[in-house]
Structure 1
Amino acid sequence: MADQTGWLCKYLPGRSNDAVFYSNNGKKSRVRPVKITGGKSLVYRCRSLRVLRMAGQFRSYIWDPVLIVSQIALMQCIYYSSLGLWLGALDLMIHYSPSLDQIFNYEILGFSSVHGRASMMAFILNSLTCALGLLYFIRRGKQCLDFTVTVHMFHLFGCWIYISHLPSTFTWWLLNIVCIALMAVIGEYLCVRTELNEIPLNSAPKSNV
C-alpha cells in the first residue's frame, strides 16, 4: 500500500495495532494506524511526508553564539526602551518629572508614594511588552525563561553599578520576581502557540490501495 506522499505502508500480521511504513530511502519505522477501511483490505494512512520531516527538523537547534548575543542585546534594548516609554506615559499622567532613578534606584519603588506606584506599574506593563518581544524575536518557547532571566540579571547589574550596591528592599526583589514570571509565562505561551500553528496537521485520509 502506498500513501500519496510516497510512504509505503505494510500490515504486520498478528499485530492489529501496528503497521510498518517504508520511506523512499528504504528506512523502516513503526506507527499506529490512524485509519482502517472496512472489508478484507486494511489500509493504514501514514502521516504525510511533510509532517514527518518537520517532526525531525522543527525542534532542531544549531549553536550560534553570534545569534544568541544579538538576541540578548536586542531584548535588553526592548526592555529599557519600552520601560522608558511606559514610565514617560505614566509620569505624564501624574505630572512627575522622569529620571533614571525610576529605573535603577530601588528606593523609588514603593506603595507609599504616587510616583513609586507608577514606577512599579511601569515595570509590570513592561513585562507584557517584553513578552511580545520574545514572541517576535526569540520565537522558541523553551528559551523564553532563559532570555527573561538574562535580561533581568543585566538589569540587576545595572542597578548595582548605578547605586554602587545591590538592591536591598523586599519590594524591589518581589517586583522583579513578578516581572520575570509574567514575562516568561506569557512569552512562552505565545511562542508555543505560534509553534503549534506552524505545524500543518491534515486529518483527511489520503491513502490508496
Structure 2
Amino acid sequence: MCLKKFMVELLYGKYNNEIMKDKIEKAQKRLELVNQWITNCDTKSSFILTFYGVILTIIFTSDMGKEMMNVFSFEVADKWNWESVKNFLLFILVIAFLGSIGKSFYHIYNTLRARINSDVYEQTGLITSSNSFFGTIAQKNFQDFEQATNSENEEEYLKDLNSQIFINSKIAAKKFEHYNSSIFWTFVSLGIFLVYIILNIL
C-alpha cells in the first residue's frame, strides 16, 4: 500500500514538473516574441531617422535650404500684393515644416529611448525587481543576485518571466504608439514641404 502511494505521488510530482517546465518554456518563447517586437520597432524608427538625415542633408546643402532660411529675413510690406502674401505663406510653411520635423524627432526619440525603470509598471502581483531584467540586475551586487537566482524555484521563475512579459509588452505598446506618431508627422512634414515647393515656383 505504501509502495503504491509512493508511486502515485512520484508520478503526480513528475506530471506537475512536466507541466511547470512546459509553462516556463512557453513563457520564455512569449518573452522572446515580445522582445522581437521591441527590436522591430527600434529598427523601423532607425530607418525613419536615417531617411530624415538624408533628406535634410540634401535640402540644407542645396540652394533650396538657403531659400528656406531666407524667408526669416523678409520685410513687412507696405502694401499687400501677391509677392508679399507669397512670402508670408512661405514663412508659415517653413515654420510648420520645421515644427513637424521637431515633432517627428520627439516621437522617434521616445521610440528609441531605453525604458529601464520597471517600477512605473508596478501593480498587484507584478514582480518589478526581476532577475531577468538587466536594469534591476545592475542595481544589485553580485552576491545578492546570485543568492536570489539560486534560491528561486520554478514557480517563482515562471512568475518572474510572466512579469517581464507584461512589462516588456507595455514598453512595446508605448514604443509603437510613438512610432506611429512619428510616421504621421513624417508624412505631415513631407506634405508641407511639397506645398512649399509648389508655392515657391508659382
More RCO (CA 8 Å, sep 6+): 2
Give TM-score scaled by structure 2 length: 0.30
Query: Relative to total residues, which structure has the larger strand share, 1 or 2?
Result: 1
Query: Relative to total residues, which structure has the larger helix share, 1 or 2?
Result: 2
Give TM-score scaled by structure 1 length: 0.29
